[in-house]
Amino acid sequence: MTPARDIRAEAARLRARFEEAGAVPLETPVLQPAEVLLDLYGEDIRGRAYVTQDPARGEMMLRPDFTVPVVQMHMSHGAEPARYTYAGEVFRKQEDHPERASEYLQVGYEVFDGSDAAAADAEVFALFAQVLAPLGLRAATGDMGILTSAVQGLRTTERRKAALMRHVWRPRRFRALLDRYSGRTPVSAHRAALIAGKVPAVEAPHVGLRGPEEIAARIDWIREDAAAGPLSEEEVALLDAVLAVRETCPFALDHLRDIAVDLPAIAPAVERLSARIDALAARGVAVETLDFEAAYGRTSMEYYDGFVFGFYAEARPDLPPVATGGRYDALTRQLGQGAEIPAVGGVIRPGVIFDLGGLA
Amino acid sequence: MSVKLGVPSKGRLMDKTFQWFGDRGVTLARTGSEREYAGAVEGIDGVELVLLSAGEIPRELAAGRIHLGVTGTDMVREKLSQWDQKVAPLEELGFGQADLIIAVPACWTDVDSLEDLDAAAAAFRETHGFRLRIATKYHRLVRDFLRRAGVADYQLVDSQGATEGTVKNLTAEAVADITSTGETLRANHLKILSDGLVLKSQATLFKSRAAPMVNGERETWDALREKLDLE
């Protein structure tokens, strides 16, 4: 047996496990229209996905993940509740890590069921924990919904909140925006002039598609923003406190409840976390020792916006995570042009299981 | 066997390279007809001149098909991932200076920095229904730069020439291109963002890390290195 055959056999076993758990097997095309993925992930995905040209269909990508095609298939002809599984190759360029695989198998389990979000989250996590139990992995969990509700609860302009929400997945720009809104960033001479009503004189004529009214509108926003006054140090500190939460589940929950006293906007999200922890415990997950990090999942390119999780081999930091997943209601909203389907799922990499000696 | 030296096959870059080597006692010349890319080397034995497009030199160095090559830093960084593991820069040659920059229409009075560009891109996408277009041929460099800067809601559109004209022609909203004096940018009513310098580039002599030196090539290389006064 070659490793490739062993890995494929492992993938088939995993998919069979997921079918036993009630999932319907799905096949999705390897070639995906690039436009959909570019609109979702932005230009960055070109650095990670293989793009190719089709004379009739335009730019196509070799499937960088299954989530998008699975969501699309479910939205076009699925009925709720639904559980799906799949096993197949995904393709990722590894420009900075040529030693990592650029083509590997993923086996997934996705749940489209809006009746009880906590139960669905727990179902996926508990299933993965059970399947991966022989490997003795460390599990990490988080919840993007706590950070996003903290942002939504800031006492500031809607425009600032929208800008922060847009960069929740880009921690550096998010921090730069917070620094700007809280007055920590010195105002540039250019911006100061705009705020003071002095638009720089330009001899050049107008060129390009972005019209004079768009330029004028943005100058108005800059002035509005200056007039709105800074975000309070207290609120920035609360946001930092949320991001710093990193404890086992019960302590993290206590800690977040304390923060919610001063930041009541996160209370509903904290109660959802509480319900999830209960649901996990009911499924036999040892929540007393399960790690929770409020900032977990912020740098992945996925569209996770609620529960997030990953399974890691602690003794092998050279390996990518064995499994990752989370809730991606926002992705279904984007792909469904407004129609939202609560969805949670995850993928396992059988190749990494093989590197760790297999499940048997 | 001979030490293979890759040099740009035409234009100012070729002339300046020939001059740089000539000043150090190594005469490079094109031979044959105007259209034939063959060359000759005088002043040292065992060096073979390979005339190539400047854009192909990084690839040939990385593959080890040439030992040495003259090209711009921009080309090496754009074409090679993990470039510093594939080639070693030996000497900056003092010509071919060019900056890879991001420029927007001068009439965008609201935009001065990458932060402004990001905010303008978000509003642009909202208004026009597609991501703000930046024309360039330096896809990797520009994408990495914008990712690190946290700019979103843009798309790169390929432009292999006359890039500055794309804004006027409504095929892009902004450009990322090489400039030396900024003259072409001004003529096309564009301005450089205050923090929009992606890379400073100049013609540089690179050595391949993949091309082995055998059968006297090392001795030739030592002699060449001495003549060129390289460390």
What's the rounded Cα separation, in Å, for the pair A292 and B143? Answer: 33
Residue B82, chain A, CB below 8 Å: the answer is yes
What pLDDT, on the 0 to 100 scale, is given for residue B35? 65
Per-residue pLDDT of A77-122, as tens digits, reads: 877 889 999 999 999 998 888 888 999 999 999 999 989 999 999 9
Could you tell me which chain B residue has the CA closest to the CA of A220? Answer: B110
| The two structure tokens encoding residue B9 | 């096959």
* Residue B9 DSSP symbol: -
What's the rounded Cα separation, in Å, for the pair A62 and B39? Answer: 43
ipTM of this complex? 0.89
Query: Residue B23: is its pLDDT beyond 70?
Result: yes
Residue B141: list chain A partners with CB under 8 A.
Answer: none
- Beta-carbon neighbour count of residue A95 at 10 Å? 14
Of A39, A44, A98, the CB nearest to B147: A44
How far from the centroid of its chain's Cα atoms is residue A68's Cα? 13
User: Which residue, among A229, A292, A280, A308, has the nearest Cα to A256 in the 3D structure?
Assistant: A292
What's the rounded Cα separation, in Å, for the pair B107 and B200? Answer: 26
Cβ within 8 Å of residue A71, ≥6 positions away: A328, A331, A332, A335, A341, A343
Could you tell me which chain B residue has the CA closest to the CA of A45? Answer: B143
- Domain range annotation of chain A: 1-115+341-360, 157-232
Please report where in the chains the tokens 């330029």 appear, as a residue: A215
Mean pLDDT of A184-188: 93
Of A191, A206, A221, the CB nearest to B107: A206
What's the rounded Cα separation, in Å, for the pair A250 and A285? Answer: 13
| Rg, Å, chain B Cα set | 20
Please report which confidence band the pLDDT of residue A298 belongs to, taking 50, 70 and 90 as the band edges: confident
B188/A207 touch (CB, cutoff 8 Å), yes or no:
yes
What's the rounded Cα separation, in Å, for the pair A325 and B29? Answer: 61
How far from the centroid of its chain's Cα atoms is residue B80's Cα? 11
Q: What SS3 state is found at B157?
A: strand
A190/B154 touch (CB, cutoff 8 Å), yes or no:
no
CATH of A1-115+341-360, one of 3.30.930.10, 3.30.390.30, 3.30.750.24, 3.30.2310.20: 3.30.930.10
Query: Residue A360: is its pLDDT beyond 80?
Result: no
- Beta-carbon neighbour count of residue B212 at 10 Å? 9
Residue A167, chain B, CB below 8 Å: the answer is yes
Please report where in the chains the tokens 């024309």 appear, as a residue: B135
Domain B98-201 matching CATH 3.40.190.10: the answer reads: yes
Please report which confidence band the pLDDT of residue A297 belongs to, taking 50, 70 and 90 as the band edges: confident
* Residue A343 DSSP symbol: E
Q: Are strands B3-8 and B47-52 parallel, antiparallel or unpaired?
A: parallel
Residue B188: list chain A partners with CB under 8 A.
Answer: 207
Per-residue pLDDT of A301-332, as tens digits, reads: 568 889 999 999 999 998 999 999 999 998 88
What's the rounded Cα separation, in Å, for the pair A52 and A62? Answer: 8
Mean pLDDT of B181-200: 94
B112/A222 touch (CB, cutoff 8 Å), yes or no:
no
Cβ within 8 Å of residue A259, ≥6 positions away: A238, A241, A242, A245, A266
- Domain range annotation of chain B: 3-97+202-228, 98-201
A219/B109 touch (CB, cutoff 8 Å), yes or no:
yes
Query: Residue B187: is its pLDDT beyond 60?
Result: yes
CATH level 3 topology of B3-97+202-228: D-Maltodextrin-Binding Protein; domain 2 (3.40.190)
Instruction: Measure Cα distances from B70 to A35, A75, B80, B99, B206 in Å.
Output: 38, 54, 15, 17, 6
Residue A55, chain B, CB below 8 Å: the answer is no
